[in-house]
Structure 1
Amino acid sequence: MNAAADKPLAFSVDGTGEEIVLSGFTAVVAGYTGRDLAAVQHHIDELAAIGVAPPPEIPMFYPMPPELFDTSGRHTGSEHLTSGEVEPVYIRHAGRYFLGIGSDHTDRDLETQDVAASKRACPKPVSRTVIAVDDLAALSLDECVARCWVDGDRYQEGTLSGLRTPKEIVDLFLERTGLGDDDFVCLGGTLPLLDGKFRAGTRWRVRLDLPGGRFLEHEYTMEKG
């Protein structure tokens, strides 16, 4: 599951002037990360009704080519229906943890055939700016508000209180993969769409508002290939 990145991934640490650079890191997308297992199962059943195979375990961790993770804000997609999802990003570098914001952009046409392939088919836009996390166990996103817009229209909005905690996600990921102390980047799950329908678009914006007025934000474009 551990794969070397072809290009380094650089982040700016908010409020410090520090830059961290990851290379040779493991990249993963966490799925089915809801805290309410009954609700997660209901969602799995809904997806099964439209042809999406149920996951072999909950939550799922989908390994990604590290080069898909990109802070540039400019991307090219396929002719298929693709759409993004706002997600917290958990980063470990040299034993330290950081929080970012990103989008699990996914090929929705391919998703009914192979969920992992549908995620690997699209770039994973992530914020250039991250926040240092002194104690992962103390990091709570329950009061954080996540939002996503597509072409200026609100697409997602809500708190992240329905997701498993960052420490729980990271601990499960490390337990299953045996990664050890290596660097990683992990998209940590999302919240429902406001209207329940996937939507294509060119201009995407994701934002995470934290208590106390701090926030993380990223904008990107997705052009047809």
Structure 2
Amino acid sequence: MTRTAAAIRLRTVEGEPVDVTPGRLVVAGYTGRDQAAVRHHIDELAAIGVPEPDSIPAFYELDTDLLTVANDVEVAGEQTSGEVEPVLIRSEGRHYLTVGSDHTDRALERDDIKTSKGACPKPMAGTVLDLGDRPESLPWDEITAGCWLDGELYQDGALAQLLPITQVLAEWDSFGAGTDFDTDFDTDADDLVLFGGTMPLLGGGFRFGREWRMRLHVPGQPAVELTYTSSVREN
């Protein structure tokens, strides 16, 4: 029996309500603009047992039920961590930009990346920038993002380090067109939420904690912020 997917209530930075019902949640990986550095990172991960991706960029399609705008999320284990990412939403022909966290189970990551990503909720801010039907107009290289873990800076920099999210979206549309859309939700596969990749970690290694704050700033626009706490789910 086909179910009706729950809409996610968002607001633009101007305060206008936006309801989106994504048909797909896609997390992109290895979206760094410096492909030599991406290759080096893949080799580093392979050295500790993380399998190489099937494609670059890599695309991991997850259950849309993982999306949340809640301030608190529960995870299954102690070794989980978030990463700040630009998030592009396509809904009914319009595009919106916000900030999200690709919260991931690092203990599972060595065995299967998709499983590790699907093991955790995917928090995103409840505030979005309305891009209309022209997301390519974004001043991508001037956008900055940052992440603080338990009050300490964890990631910081310009998104010029990453492929423009519109390019990642175009690659997904080409790649995803050949994948099956299998869901028991009554929704449109063309409407999606795309996490566009992340920047290097300051200090170079994953850290685990509880309080996460993330910020995305597009020049000339109010900054979009995401704050949430993660706690281990009681069995």
Return the TM-score normalized by structure 2.
0.90
Q: CA deviation at 1:224?
A: 1.1
Look up the match of 2:198.
Answer: 190
Give a deviation string over 1:183-209, Cα, whole Å, max 9, x none. 100110110000111111111000012
Look up the match of 1:91.
Answer: 89
Amino acid at match of 1:215: A
Give a deviation string over 1:142-185, Cα, whole Å, max 9, x none. 11221101111111111110111121011011111128972100
Amino acid at match of 2:197: G
**Which secondary structure does the structure 1 equivalent of 2:120 belong to?**
coil
- Show the 5 A alignment for 1:53-92: 53-92=51-90
Separation (CA, whole Å) in 1 of partners of 2:135 and 2:83: 23
**Which secondary structure does the structure 2 equivalent of 1:116 belong to?**
helix
Higher relative contact order (CA 8 A, sep 6+): 2
**Which secondary structure does the structure 1 equivalent of 2:199 belong to?**
coil
- Show the 5 A alignment for 1:202-217: 202-212=210-220, 214-217=222-225
Closer/same/farther in 2, CA of residues 51 and 183 from structure 1, 3 Å limit: same
Task: Report the RMSD for the aligned CA atoms in angstroms.
Answer: 1.8
Closer/same/farther in 2, CA of residues 11 and 108 from structure 1, 3 Å limit: same
Identity %: 44
Report the number of matched residues.
222
Amino acid at match of 1:172: E
Look up the match of 2:111.
Answer: 113
Look up the match of 1:147.
Answer: 146
Q: CA deviation at 1:10?
A: 1.6
Amino acid at match of 2:169: V
**Which secondary structure does the structure 2 equivalent of 1:131 belong to?**
strand
Q: Does structure 1 residue 25 correspond to structure 2 residue 33?
A: no
Closer/same/farther in 2, CA of residues 187 and 24 from structure 1, 3 Å limit: closer
